[in-house]
Chains A and B, each alone.
Chain A
Amino acid sequence: MMRLKNIQVGYGHCVVAELDGDLAFAKAKFISIIGTNGSGKSTLLRAIASGKHLIKGNVFLEDKNWNDHTAQERSRLISIVLTERAFSYFLSVRELLELSRAPYTNYIGSLARGDQEIINEILENFDLKKLEHRRAGTLSDGQLQRVLIARAIVQDTTYILMDEPTSHLDINHKADLLLLLKEYCHKKDKTIIYATHEIQLALSLCDEVVSIHKGNIAHRSTSDFIKSNLLDEIFPSPHVDFKHGKMEFKFK
């Protein structure tokens, strides 16, 4: 269980979003974070993953405060998919995944046979087998996005945070990938929390929704979230209509 308590996230002393009270993420849940641009979705994810941008409050992982875990324990509990791409473009897809086994390898980073098997399985599942030996710099944005998601899965953590994992992907790939991730969550007892702008997909697939609206972080089951009618409030537009969670565009 991951628990957030009275947290404020932001930059320096500037609070972007805050949570009044408690919030808990159970295991085997597929959760989305919904909010407008700049509402603090990425900041919240980064705060949980790295401890940076956490101005106030506590994050508990498995009943232990974030800070009381060692860096290695954390690296086996939380992985993240970021929108930034600061890695070496010389890395091959396979190398990128191999490096992500770091929390489990010895001091020099040698991979055991078990590590290789995990990587092979995930390459297969994410349809990356063909790209295995391609260098990151030669991949398309969409392919790279799939690699980065696979990278987080390879890290094999209880909680996987993703910042807009479906950006750069075609609509069919978006649907396939999210379904794959949801199945992965439920089958392997993992929790995925992802920030997204794809409202329709999130509402049809996610178990729970975290909404960030006017700086307030709230957490509901997806059906409660749809009932709350918050969607019209978060995304007010005369051209978009949310009826029972079905999004519709209206243009005259």
Chain B
Amino acid sequence: MAVLTGAGLAIAGLLMQTLFRNPLAGPFVLGISSGAGLGVALVIMGATALGIGAISGIGIITASVVGSLVVLLLIIVMSLRIKDTMGLLIVGLMVGSLSSAVVGILSYFSSSEELKRYVFWSLGSLGNINWDDLLIISLLFFVALLLLLWIIKPLNALLLGESYALSLGINIKKTRWIIIIITSILAGSITAFAGPIAFIGLAVPHLARLILPTVNHKILIPTAILLGATLLLFCDIASQLPFSNYSLPINAVTSILGAPLIIWLIMRKRNLHF
């Protein structure tokens, strides 16, 4: 599970950074994870309010994928109007806080049982997953990889900027849609099961660019997958707190490791590129 989660989030982050031409883009920063969180919150805490009863499994995945898709679409629509990528990040941030506000209101009105379930989900966990869930995620991951293969060339062309990509005959609209679909599938399904895991999506592509001599997606994507998988596996092992019976929430571990990593990267390179 850690392997799939790490790899998936790394791909999602990489795609966002290439699409938005922004080194700070990532499923967490752009509010996509928060969107997924809102979707899950609505399902977990809103369901009983509507009298549907407890929902699990597929319901949570669907809510999470739909949530991330909605946020991503919102951000794409904004990005067509806002040319400034900085503005886009602020929008992402706002969407994030908006989602958490709605989640806050929902939790105020929900029962302690539901609240507990949501809080545990939001702390992130790679453990509470059965084989059926893993099968679903693997399947979605496979679909995303197939789609990815289709857009390797357009992704590389996008590195030249949209105007040049367009003049090279690349169908930008189609590419953008495929990127949105892949990111929503990956970030949505992973967030549904493992909770919103921070920093992997943002940091891994930068690590990959740092160790590689190229930004060609043919090499960058496999590297990001390997790095993401390894890094999250490492975080997972660290979170189990060796020699004790306790385990930390995975989200805390990735943040504790990820935040200094990003700061170190910026200090070292002085500036980040996409």
Contact = CB atoms under 8 A, between A and B. Distances in A.
Contact of B159 (A49, A85, A91, A108): A91
A90 B213 CA distance: 9
Contact of B169 (A96, A103, A137, A151): A103
A88 B159 contact: yes
A96 B162 CA distance: 14
Contacts, number: 88
A70 B168 CA distance: 12
Nearest to B212: A90
Nearest to B209: A90
A73 B167 CA distance: 10
Interface residues of A, number: 35
B167 A99 contact: no
B156 to A, nearest CB: 6
A95 interface: yes
A49 B169 CA distance: 11
Interface stretch (B24-32, B95-103, B129-137, B214-222): B214-222
B152 to A, nearest CB: 5
B169 A95 contact: no
A88 B273 contact: yes
B168 A100 contact: yes
A84 interface: yes
A109 interface: yes
Contacts of A222: none
Contacts of B157: 99, 102
B214 to A, nearest CB: 6
Interface residues of B, number: 27
A34 B157 CA distance: 31
Interface stretch (A75-83, A181-189, A229-237, A242-250): A75-83
A14 interface: no
Given A74-B169, A109-B153, A86 B273 contact: no
A78 B273 contact: no
A30 to B, nearest CB: 20
Given A90-B215, A95-B216, A102 B169 contact: yes
A42 B174 CA distance: 27
A70 B150 CA distance: 19
B17 to A, nearest CB: 9
Contact of A108 (B21, B152, B166): B152
A122 B169 CA distance: 21
B159 A87 contact: yes
B163 A50 contact: yes
A86 B214 contact: no
A92 interface: yes
Interface in B166-185: 166-171
A137 B166 CA distance: 22
A107 interface: yes
Contacts of B214: 92, 95
Interface in A30-74: 49-50, 70-74
Given A109-B218, A151-B164, 9 more contacts: A50-B163, A86-B21, A87-B161, A88-B215, A90-B215, A91-B160, A92-B213, A99-B157, A109-B152
Interface of B: 21, 149-150, 152-153, 156-157, 159-164, 166-171, 209, 213-216, 218, 273-274
8 contacts: A50-B167, A71-B169, A79-B167, A86-B21, A88-B160, A90-B273, A109-B152, A109-B156
